[in-house]
Amino acid sequence: MNHNSQEQLIDYLHHALAPEDDAAVYAHLENCSACRAAYQDEAALGEALRAQAAAEERDMPSGVVASIWAAIEASQRRATLADRLLAWMRPAVMVPVMAVVVVALLLVPHFTPSSPTQTIDAAYYLQAHAALGGTMPFADTDVVPASLENLGQGQTTAVAVTPTMVTADVQP
């Protein structure tokens, strides 16, 4: 008997399988207690995540949503302004302007912009710090692989936990 893979079970759980595959997984689950247990584990995990999300109210606060919409509207307003500027850049205006710029560049060659300055991404320093800190058995650096956090950027969830006094209350 070919058991269902974890990927198949997850896809089945999320109704992401093709109809014939969905039917095959369904039939297999009816007859295989091991796969049924694995399926129930996955389903329980999903429920736990949903329950946790609900309990911690990790939806974006309405203020954040409003600020995002405000930013979108502002960018649209800027686009309108850009359109107006483009209207000014018609050939009748731009040709003489460009001629002046070309002459200026020819007369003042030393003002030609230099190549962009080299930089080192701050992410390198954060990762290298975490990597070398890996030799500290209980270091305060993160135990979660930094590379996974980088892969998953945009998928973490900001929560409303303010850096106030929380605990560390038990003194020996």
Q: Which one of 37, 49, 54, 97 is in contact with another protein (CB under 8 A)?
A: 49
Q: How far apart are CA 44 and CA 32, in angstroms?
A: 18
Count, residues near another protein per rule CB under 8 A: 66
Spatial contact of 64 and 160, defined as CB atoms under 8 Å apart: no
Give the tokens for residue 131: 């990597």
Give the tokens for residue 172: 């020996």
User: Nearer Cβ to another protein, position 98 or 142?
Assistant: 142
Stretch that binds another protein, among 81-89, 90-98, 102-110, 127-135 (CB under 8 A): 127-135
Please give the single-letter amino acid code of residue 28.
H
163 binds another protein (CB under 8 A): yes
Stretch that binds another protein, among 25-33, 69-77, 103-111, 112-120 (CB under 8 A): 112-120
In this structure, what are the phi and psi dihedrals at residue 154, rounded to the nearest 5 degrees? 95, -5
Q: Which one of 45, 93, 97, 103 is in contact with another protein (CB under 8 A)?
A: 45
DSSP string, 28-67: HHHH-HHHHHHHHHHHHHHHHHHHHHHHTT-SPPHHHHHH
Give the binding site for another protein (CB under 8 A). 5-6, 10-11, 13-14, 16, 45-46, 48-49, 52, 56, 58, 117-145, 147-149, 151-152, 155-172
